[in-house]
Each structure stands twice: as structure tokens, then as C-alpha cells.
């Protein structure tokens, strides 16, 4: 009972953290869309996005290097797709489309691509309601094809879809990594920063920062919105909201963020929410909300599952922003799951190597 009461007292803080997360996710889409109208180039925005978390998390670098040495190379490769590759695709897609589509297509299509990747490995059960949710998302994506024109290109829509796929690949890496949340952020940002510096110094991509043509105000704004806001704060806020509210409630942020982005884009960029955009937005938002509320196993099935099956169920997880959640093990982040079980109960691959009583999970979820 005491645990339940403590959980209840954390709810207001959890909702506040979730609200901040939604704002930060929207600010990422809006600020990325606005790069073309600033004195910064895409590569300038990238270096500010990735270097800032590296500087802020520098004290963790020695322990992170040790942890990375123990990580499997294929898992690191999956994680790094969510760094510079995702950012560049997202940024170029945003430049060729609208802020509303930018904020809608990438987070909206992540659950679709994550599920398709999991199905390709033959490891994801598919309840009817989840199929319906994916159908809504697919219909919304199809509707976006009718929005081509008025400053929106088919190529831009395609790039945003590639961005959603890249984030889904990153998601699969999060399922398998033994790195903690901050170690993961520091690893991805450090490697991405080195890659961006190579692009800048080699001249492969133009940089106004190196040329001294960047406006100080633009530099400060991008550093705050993307380096600190997206790179670090959105990750921590979403992680806290999942712990305080559970994944089902916290996942509403993935549905609310595109709506906020579309609404704010009207006064900021002069965009209009036409009938086509409204329908596409409604379909994708409804699909994401429904998807997040349907786990691959029903509540009644949970009592018949072995702990190993619960962890495997995380194949259907959804990642938006820089945070992750492990599907049916509601309320768990990667490091939370490891901490909730007795020592030695989890190995880097996320597979239980000891038989554990399911009451351990129940107790942890109630905290």
C-alpha cells in the first residue's frame, strides 16, 4: 500500500515531465524545420545538437568507454543509426516539407517500422487492435502523399519516412544494449560529433560556423533547443514520466506531439492545417495512441508468461525522441528492468538467464 501511495504522489511530477517532453519533441521538429531560415547550415545544427550533450556528460566519458568496450559491435551499429544518419535525413526531409509533416511522419511511422522489423525476425505476436492501429498509421502516411505541393515535395515525404525507419533501427538497438540511458546518449553523440567535424573540416558539407557567418543568436537558440532540449532534457523527462506514470500513460506524448507541432507551425511558419493534413494527422495520431495502449499480450495472459517471454515482448516497443520503453513490461526502461530484478538476472541481450518470480516485476511496477 505504501508503494501505491508513493506512486500516486509522483503522478503530478510525472505529468509535468511528460508535458515538458511533448514541448521538447515539438521544438525539435520546429527548430529543424527552421534551419533553412537561419544563418546556420544543417551541418552546423548537427554539431550543436551532438556536441552539447558530450560537453555536459563529459565526466561520464571514462565509464562509458569501458561500457562500450563490452557492448556488441552490431548493437553499437544499430544505436549509431539514431545519431547523425537519422538527424541528416530528418533535417533534409524537414527542409523539403512542412513542420506539420515533419512532426507527424517520423514519430508516427516508428511503431509501424519497429513492428515490421520485429515481424521480419518472427518474434512479435500481433493482436487485432494493434493491426488496426498500424492500419490507421499506414492510411495517414498514404494521405500525406496527397499533400505534395504548396512547398511540400514527394522526396521530402520519402526522406521523413526513411527517418522513421532509421529511428526504428535505433529502437532495435535500444532493446539489446547493456548501456545505461546516459551512456547511450553519450556514445551516440560522441561518435556523431566526430563524424560531423569530419564533414565540416573536409568541406563535404558547407558550414557557416567555420566561416564565421553564423549569427550568435541562432547558435544559442539551436544549442538550447536541440543540444540541451532534445539531446538531453527530453530523454530524462520522458524517462521520469514513464517511471512515474507507466508506459501506457506516458506514451500519449507520442500522439500529442504532432498535434502541438502542427498548431504552433501556423503562427511560426505561416503554415495552414488543411483538410488533407487534418485527416492525415488524425489518422496517425489515433493509430499511435491505439498502438501504445495495446501490448502484444493481454493482461490475462501475463500470469501465464515466463519472465523471459515478457522481456522478448519488448520487440514491439516504441521510441520517440531520445527515450525508450519496453513494451508489455510497462513502466520499465532498460536500466530500470536490470535494477528491478536480482543481481545476475539480466544479461546485455535483455534475456533472463535465471528463473524469476513474476512478483518481482509486479513489485517494481508499483513503485
**E strand or H helix that includes residue 286:** helix 275-292
How do residues 162-175 score in pLDDT, each as one tens digit? 999 998 899 888 87
Higher pLDDT, 140 or 250: 140
pLDDT of residue 35: 92
Single out the residue of 237, 235, 231, 174 nearest to residue 55, CA to CA.
231
pLDDT of residue 128: 82
Q: How far is CA 182 from the centre of its chain?
A: 14
pTM: 0.73
How large is the average pLDDT for residues 180-192?
94
How do residues 205-242 score in pLDDT, each as one tens digit? 999 999 999 999 999 999 999 999 988 898 888 878 87
Q: Is it the case that residue 45 has pLDDT exceeding 90? A: yes
The mean of the pLDDT values for the chain is: 76
pLDDT of residue 250: 66
Single out the residue of 184, 306, 320, 304 nearest to residue 250, CA to CA.
320
Q: Is it the case that residue 4 has pLDDT exceeding 70? A: no
Q: For residue 334, give every residue at least 6 positions away whose Cβ sits within 8 Å of its Cβ, in sequence order, or none.
A: 174, 177, 179, 180, 181, 324, 326, 350
Q: Is it the case that residue 366 has pLDDT exceeding 60? A: no
Is residue 41 a contact partner of residue 32, using CB atoms and an 8 Å limit? no
pLDDT of residue 240: 82
Higher pLDDT, 310 or 252: 252
Length of the chain: 367
Interatomic CA distance for residues 209 and 48, integer angstroms: 10
How do residues 52-73 score in pLDDT, each as one tens digit? 999 999 999 999 999 999 999 9
**E strand or H helix that includes residue 37:** none
**Which range in 34-43, 251-260, 334-343 is most confidently predicted, on average pLDDT?**
34-43
Determine the straight-line distance between the first and last CA of the chain, rounded to whole angstroms: 10
How large is the average pLDDT for residues 286-291?
83
232: DSSP letter: I
Higher pLDDT, 30 or 337: 30
How do residues 244-253 score in pLDDT, each as one tens digit? 776 556 666 7
Interatomic CA distance for residues 248 and 147, integer angstroms: 31
Amino acid at each position: 500500500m505504501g508503494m501505491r501511495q508513493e506512486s500516486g504522489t509522483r503522478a503530478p511530477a510525472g505529468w509535468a515531465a511528460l508535458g515538458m517532453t511533448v514541448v521538447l519533441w515539438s521544438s525539435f521538429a520546429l527548430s529543424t524545420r527552421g534551419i533553412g531560415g537561419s544563418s546556420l547550415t544543417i551541418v552546423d545544427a548537427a554539431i550543436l545538437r551532438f556536441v552539447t550533450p558530450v560537453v555536459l556528460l563529459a565526466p561520464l566519458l571514462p565509464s562509458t568507454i569501458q561500457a562500450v568496450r563490452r557492448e556488441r559491435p552490431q548493437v553499437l551499429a544499430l544505436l549509431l543509426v539514431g545519431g547523425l544518419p537519422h538527424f541528416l535525413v530528418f533535417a533534409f526531409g524537414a527542409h523539403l516539407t512542412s513542420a506539420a509533416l515533419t512532426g507527424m511522419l517520423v514519430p508516427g511511422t516508428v511503431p509501424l517500422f519497429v513492428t515490421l522489423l520485429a515481424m521480419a525476425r518472427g518474434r512479435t505476436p500481433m493482436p487485432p487492435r494493434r493491426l488496426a492501429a498500424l492500419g490507421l498509421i499506414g492510411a495517414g502516411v498514404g494521405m500525406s502523399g496527397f499533400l505534395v505541393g504548396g512547398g511540400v515535395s514527394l522526396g521530402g515525404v520519402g526522406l521523413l519516412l526513411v527517418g522513421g525507419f532509421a529511428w526504428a533501427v535505433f529502437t532495435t538497438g535500444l532493446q539489446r544494449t547493456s548501456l545505461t540511458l546516459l551512456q547511450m546518449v553519450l556514445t551516440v553523440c560522441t561518435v556523431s560529433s566526430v563524424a560531423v567535424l569530419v564533414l565540416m573540416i573536409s568541406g563535404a558539407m558547407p558550414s557557416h560556423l567555420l566561416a564565421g557567418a553564423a549569427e550568435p543568436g541562432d547558435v544559442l537558440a539551436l544549442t538550447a533547443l536541440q543540444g540541451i532540449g532534445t539531446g538531453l532534457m527530453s530523454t530524462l523527462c520522458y524517462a521520469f514520466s514513464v517511471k512515474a506514470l507507466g508506459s501506457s500513460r506516458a506514451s500519449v506524448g507520442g500522439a500529442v506531439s504532432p498535434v502541438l507541432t502542427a498548431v504552433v507551425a501556423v503562427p511560426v511558419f505561416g503554415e495552414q492545417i488543411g483538410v488533407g493534413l487534418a485527416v492525415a494527422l488524425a489518422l496517425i495520431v489515433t493509430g499511435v495512441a491505439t498502438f501504445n495502449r495495446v501490448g502484444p499480450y493481454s493482461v490475462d495472459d501475463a500470469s501465464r508468461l515466463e519472465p523471459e517471454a515478457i522481456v522478448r515482448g519488448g520487440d514491439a516497443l516504441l521510441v520517440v525522441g531520445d527515450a525508450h520503453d519496453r513494451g508489455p513490461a510497462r513502466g520499465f526502461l532498460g536500466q530500470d528492468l536490470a535494477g528491478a530484478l536480482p543481481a545476475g538476472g539480466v544479461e546485455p541481450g535483455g534475456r533472463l538467464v535465471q528463473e524469476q518470480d513474476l512478483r518481482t516485476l509486479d513489485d517494481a511496477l508499483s513503485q
